[in-house]
A and B are shown apart, each in its own frame.
Chain A
Amino acid sequence: MTDLSPAMWLALFVGGLAILVLLRIPVAIALLTVSSIGAVLLYGFSPGIEMTVVSMVSGLTTFTLTAVPMFILMGELLFRSGVAFSAIGAAERGLARLPGRLAFLSVGMGAVLGVLSGSVMASTAMLAGTLAPEMERRGYSRRLATGSILGSGGLAMVLPPSTVVIVWGATAGVPVGPLLIAGVVPGVLMAVGYAVVVGAWAYFFGGAERPAVLGKARVRQGQHQTPEPSSGTAVSTEDSRGSLVNLVALVGMIVGVLALILFGIATPTEAAAVAVGLTALILLVQRRLTREVLRESIKHTLLSTGMVFLIIAGATIYGRVMAGSGTVTAFVDGITSVTGNPTLLLVIMLATVIVLGLFLEAIAIVLLTIPLFMPIVQIAGFDPLWFGILMIIAIQIGTVTPPFGMSLFVIRQYAPKSMPMSELYRAAVPFVLSDLTIVVLLVLAPSIVTALPALM
């Protein structure tokens, strides 16, 4: 309806969004506002507004997306009942001989939580809430403490289940099951990378506790004599047998859910709901499913779900209107006219995602970039699974890069009060470098990503 040049459209979409977001308008509302203005310019006033509102409804009635609140709910139940933490206590005793074991534990726990939860925010909050105060008490350098948590919290996005992977697959039209499985090996490699960073940090720069010789003996006696912090964590009240039981129950649940998918009993989306049911069952058997736990878990699931899905709704229509304006075609034509070299195209797309990660939330990046990138992926002939996982790792980096990083917002609430944001940013740098190394590795050897899904 209104003829604007591609440059003007781009200014509206990017500039308009940036201004609103900088003025502290919630990201979701900013996306909806800019899109409805775009839709009105493109399609006329009432048709444009109507399209925006209707798309909020039709965009959210998507079965695949129901896995997102299910996995968040599962994580909340495990966290609030103390089961997750208790299981992790068992793991900590196994690491007693390592220097800086809490930092290592953060990585290991990040991987375990990553398999239990689909949300980086949930995982980072759990890691920070349980480990950050304890690391501070034991005299860890605050950079190592927060850095290891920021790094390993991101594993939840790459290891299945993952909210972002599900949304990515559903939007790009790539089968979600294989895509989730494709994240396993890269996720484990990322965790190994983080462990190397932590080990090197503790070895060369110190800042971590020494190996606990007593810790092992205590486990053998099955007693608790350590003066525990007043924070009263689950570990301090739980005997090690209970911890072990919880660890076994959790591992059993993960195996059970994977088996459901492998034997074709449930689809990956349905498996999320079954996982919630199994979690509730574990809690019920242990008499941990109190009304309080249930109510708080549901409440916090709703808070995360409402927040994430309003962004999904906003980003969906934003992407559509941007596509309708011709900006997308201009972008794709622009990039592909610059180069036809697949490697260079890949680097450009990865760089775009990392730059967007400075300013945008993960789901928004997924929805914004897929219409831009998938045509290029087709032209370049990339394997969608491989490309998807590279994108997810790059998007995951965005959770710890300032000024807008969800993990940064989360850890701010748990990090030492005297620690400025700038120091938090620096703490994450070695872990980001580790991720970039993994990305290079996956680019050089795509079979690391594609081998496992191909086996299935």
Chain B
Amino acid sequence: MSTGNSARGPVGRILRALTTASAVLAGAGLVYMALATILAVVLRYVFRQPNRFLFESTEFALALTVFFALGMVALYDRHVRVDLIPRRFARTNRKVDIGARFATAAIAGTFGWFAVQLFVRDLETGIRMGSTFGLPRWILMLALTVGLVLLAANELRGALERLHATGTDAATADVTGSESTGEAKHD
């Protein structure tokens, strides 16, 4: 992780693979929400056989989808940031940007650490969502942990990449960001 090419090094490749795997789960959650809701409507209206599980699992799938997507959102640099410093102060912008990415990684990592502790506790107590009939909460806590850790790791990668990029690279990286590299690798 000590060179600017970290994204292309083995660690970077593993991170990308994990982020993609997590995104695939998120995509499955998204498709599930659509199919389960349509099925629920058909069962209720056509067969007059409403189904509680379809409803509860759709709610559940929403949280799963969001958490498993967090890593990819960071990989493509889509978490919303505010640009207030004018573009002509390229150097200041670069410094702030790199610092912010390290800080974001640290914060997300810290939340990830708390989430994993709650995951362990939820596994022990067997607590469920909403009521004694709900789905187990540890699944969501695990997904949240995964999402936060991948978010942190991708922010860290972004920070290191920018830190080691040369001046001109840095300028282009600011404009196109990991978006372009991300697209290229995916397609």
Task: Indicate whether A and B are direct neighbours in the complex (CB within 8 Å).
Answer: yes
Which residues from chain A sit less than 8 Å from chain B, CB to CB? 21-29, 32-33, 36, 49-50, 52-54, 56-58, 60-63, 65-66, 69-70, 73, 260, 265-266, 269-270, 272-274, 276-277, 298-299, 301-307, 309-311, 313, 359, 361, 403-404, 406, 409
Contact partner of A24 (CB less than 8 A), chosen from B40, B81, B118, is: B81
Q: Smallest CB–CB gap between A436 and chain B, Å?
A: 24
Does A361 contact B80, Cβ atoms closer than 8 Å?
A: yes
Does A53 contact B31, Cβ atoms closer than 8 Å?
A: no
Q: How would residues 92 to 110 of chain B score, 1 for a CB under 8 Å from any chain A CB and 0 otherwise?
A: 0000110110011001100
Does B34 contact A60, Cβ atoms closer than 8 Å?
A: no
Q: A53–B111 Cα gap in the complex (Å)?
A: 7
Contact partner of B33 (CB less than 8 A), chosen from A69, A303, A307, A309, is: A69
Q: Most B CB atoms within 10 A — which of A24, A54, A65?
A: A24
Does A307 contact B41, Cβ atoms closer than 8 Å?
A: no
**Set of chain B residues within 8 Å of A73, measured between Cβ atoms:** 30, 34
Contact partner of B78 (CB less than 8 A), chosen from A50, A66, A306, is: A306
Contact partner of B65 (CB less than 8 A), chosen from A29, A69, A359, is: A69
**Set of chain B residues within 8 Å of A361, measured between Cβ atoms:** 80
Say which one of B3-11, B68-76, B164-172 lies at the interface with A. B68-76
Q: Is the interface of A mostly helix, strand, loop or mixed?
A: helix
**Set of chain A residues within 8 Å of B118, measured between Cβ atoms:** 50, 53-54
In the complex, whether B146 has a CB less than 8 A from a CB of chain A is no
Q: A409–B132 Cα gap in the complex (Å)?
A: 45
Q: Smallest CB–CB gap between A15 and chain B, Å?
A: 15
Q: A54–B141 Cα gap in the complex (Å)?
A: 8
A-B contact pairs, 14 of them (CB 8 A): A22-B84, A23-B103, A29-B107, A32-B111, A36-B111, A54-B118, A57-B63, A70-B34, A265-B45, A274-B41, A302-B27, A302-B65, A306-B26, A306-B66
Tell me the count of chain B residues lying within 8 A, CB to CB, of chain A: 52
Q: Is the interface of B mostly helix, strand, loop or mixed?
A: helix
Q: Smallest CB–CB gap between A402 and chain B, Å?
A: 9
Does A302 contact B99, Cβ atoms closer than 8 Å?
A: no
In the complex, whether B83 has a CB less than 8 A from a CB of chain A is yes
Does A24 contact B70, Cβ atoms closer than 8 Å?
A: no
In the complex, whether B53 has a CB less than 8 A from a CB of chain A is no
Contact partner of A298 (CB less than 8 A), chosen from B27, B45, B60, B107, is: B27
Contact partner of A57 (CB less than 8 A), chosen from B58, B65, B80, B144, is: B144
Q: In this complex, what residue of B is CB-closest to A28?
A: B79
Does A299 contact B79, Cβ atoms closer than 8 Å?
A: no
Q: A272–B130 Cα gap in the complex (Å)?
A: 24
Q: In this complex, what residue of B is CB-closest to A277?
A: B38
Q: In this complex, what residue of B is CB-closest to A406?
A: B80
Contact partner of A26 (CB less than 8 A), chosen from B58, B99, B104, B129, is: B104
Does B69 contact A33, Cβ atoms closer than 8 Å?
A: no
Q: Most B CB atoms within 10 A — which of A57, A73, A298, A359?
A: A57
Q: Most A CB atoms within 10 A — which of B23, B69, B96?
A: B69
In the complex, whether B82 has a CB less than 8 A from a CB of chain A is yes
Does A62 contact B59, Cβ atoms closer than 8 Å?
A: yes
